[in-house]
Structure 1
């Protein structure tokens, strides 16, 4: 496969942290995540890069320029590039106090500066800064109208800061974030932000739960007690949801889901990320990725420089197996074969 076949294939590093810690399993080190990614290979094809979570214990957001250069040399030395970055905004809820909202914006600013330095080193040719509301759906539901306004105001300020660095922000749709916990509330929030550099990060596992109306039963797409053997109805549901969110989508995660809610450790319940080979997975990964990567007429959108696998909350024994990452890479390759494109030099 030629080197300039798009989109590039990335692995996320933050699954080594999310759902890990003192009340769960030990964090998997950044170096281990990089090594497993770099070692994965299927039919001579390897991962092209990694997406990074800019938070401890993997990354010190305030590291020196020398530290960033060492990081670049480490990742580049493994033959990998860097794509999207996750801003550590959880200390400042987007609908919190003025001080908390200011903290949110400051974390976005620092993440943009970090991302700009990576671009200057030539290791980050594409990617966004990922955000969420850092607020619980239960708190949002106490005053939906005003809380959406607060989130939108915070996101606008963050967008204005990001624009100064040439960055786009992508809000990841997860049922655990207030104002983002259903496909309709997600669109309401994005429309209220009203900035050209805001978009949606679609994760195939997280968005799958939008269909089932967790945390927003009034917005469920599939009926209660849905028959999972009814593939035709599932596809119609996916078409409806992706038609609404695809125009906003600027970053994309390939993933699998078994139709259940899951949380590990201190992490809020969200979409269960399943292995690409999980027999209980409800998604046809290759086919269903097309609802995000192709428009309503079936044309490839070519909106992404890379696609990423996000496998948060896998057990450590699974994540420490090289087979896991080879299987994940194989799934990404199949998605690209079905929905990718070749760009001549």
Structure 2
């Protein structure tokens, strides 16, 4: 058995929130997700930590004692905290002046929360995740001008984050304007031009880049592609990862069946499948290597942890302990194949 202990293996809390709520199923409580994560075990290996969505009702950023409460809960279960999702959607990176100010303010609150967790000893690594909080349709009304405005907002957010020693990672999802294709994503990151901006790759969401959803002009796989053709899929993945890997500072392990999906109020994006889904297009352990290794096959060691992301599953799936054991098993295989010992 592999003795690799890096990258650390994290679960995520936001799947208990994303796509849930009044127009879908009930939110899964933070404490329930924490307990199921801590209980997961495969051949004596357990999760090392959690990545957290700083979203209500899980997290109240206006409570001055919230970081202490969360730190105590994580420590009780012997879990570290890694990357944080900033709740920037009350604003918009290409919105009005007030909306852009709200966006940056939420990044500030998130970075302050992250610093508190560091000071409390439960967070040693990780980034703060952002997106444009703007739809593809709205962006398309003025692609050049809107991308420039998003980049300017991101620059302001980066400057705020730098004051807390934080890096911001923009997640590649087809539902966010200026981030909905691999080429637009690279263009945006280059335009932001800050040392503390990077890319958060998600194996499910980012795979949709190869298929040209919402950006057919940047499609790599043909429209009628056979997704069971592994050589075609691998070639497409190589094109995307070669472009985005140099920017990648955070990584989500995930499965995808090549379709889009949304639930509740969440726009459609790459469908997350269960780790054991027989319809999954990806070979999880193999395809993670496109992100974790460079073009020569050498480990990049660009981040100290990896996180599972599986949003918009029914609560019946997410409240089953076997689901989390299966996820952990998939994560272990990734670390066995592409990890290291330190």
Q: Provide, for residues 90-145 of structure 1, a one-character-per-residue CA deviation record: whole Å limited to 9, x for no partner.
A: 01110001110011000000100000000011100000000000000000000000
- For residue 102 of structure 1, what is the aligned residue in structure 2? 101
Alignment of 1:154-169 (within 5 A): 154-169=153-168
Judged with a 3 Å threshold, the aligned counterparts in structure 2 of structure 1 residues 125 and 3 are, in CA distance, closer, same or farther, namely farther
- For residue 255 of structure 1, what is the aligned residue in structure 2? 254
Equivalent residue of 1:6, what SS?
Answer: coil
* Aligned-residue CA RMSD (Å): 1.1
- For residue 307 of structure 2, what is the aligned residue in structure 1? 308
Shift of 1:304: 1.1
Taking the aligned partners of 1:176 and 1:235, their CA distance within structure 2 comes to 24
Task: Normalising by structure 2, report the TM-score.
Answer: 0.99
Q: Tell me, yes or no, if the aligned pair for 2:4 and 2:335 is still in contact at 8 Å.
A: no
Alignment of 1:58-207 (within 5 A): 58-64=58-64, 66-207=65-206
Judged with a 3 Å threshold, the aligned counterparts in structure 2 of structure 1 residues 229 and 12 are, in CA distance, closer, same or farther, namely same
Taking the aligned partners of 2:62 and 2:260, their CA distance within structure 1 comes to 34
Q: Tell me, yes or no, if the aligned pair for 2:4 and 2:339 is still in contact at 8 Å.
A: no
Shift of 1:54: 0.5
Matched, 1:53 2:53: yes
Taking the aligned partners of 1:3 and 1:130, their CA distance within structure 2 comes to 30
Equivalent residue of 2:90, what SS?
Answer: coil
Matched, 1:216 2:201: no
Shift of 1:70: 2.1
Matched, 1:227 2:226: yes
Q: Tell me, yes or no, if the aligned pair for 2:228 and 2:281 is still in contact at 8 Å.
A: no
Taking the aligned partners of 2:4 and 2:154, their CA distance within structure 1 comes to 34
- For residue 340 of structure 1, what is the aligned residue in structure 2? 339
- For residue 38 of structure 2, what is the aligned residue in structure 1? 38
Taking the aligned partners of 1:4 and 1:240, their CA distance within structure 2 comes to 28
Unaligned runs of 5+ in 1: none
Q: Tell me, yes or no, if the aligned pair for 2:227 and 2:258 is still in contact at 8 Å.
A: no
Equivalent residue of 2:88, what SS?
Answer: coil
Taking the aligned partners of 1:62 and 1:85, their CA distance within structure 2 comes to 16
Shift of 1:3: 8.7
- For residue 20 of structure 2, what is the aligned residue in structure 1? 20
Shift of 1:230: 1.6
- For residue 264 of structure 1, what is the aligned residue in structure 2? 263
Equivalent residue of 1:341, what SS?
Answer: coil
Equivalent residue of 1:90, what SS?
Answer: helix
Taking the aligned partners of 2:186 and 2:25, their CA distance within structure 1 comes to 35
Equivalent residue of 1:52, what SS?
Answer: strand
Alignment of 1:232-251 (within 5 A): 232-251=231-250
Taking the aligned partners of 1:125 and 1:49, their CA distance within structure 2 comes to 11
Taking the aligned partners of 1:187 and 1:63, their CA distance within structure 2 comes to 36
Show structure 1 runs of 4+ deviating over 6 A: 1-4
Q: Paired residues, what number? A: 342
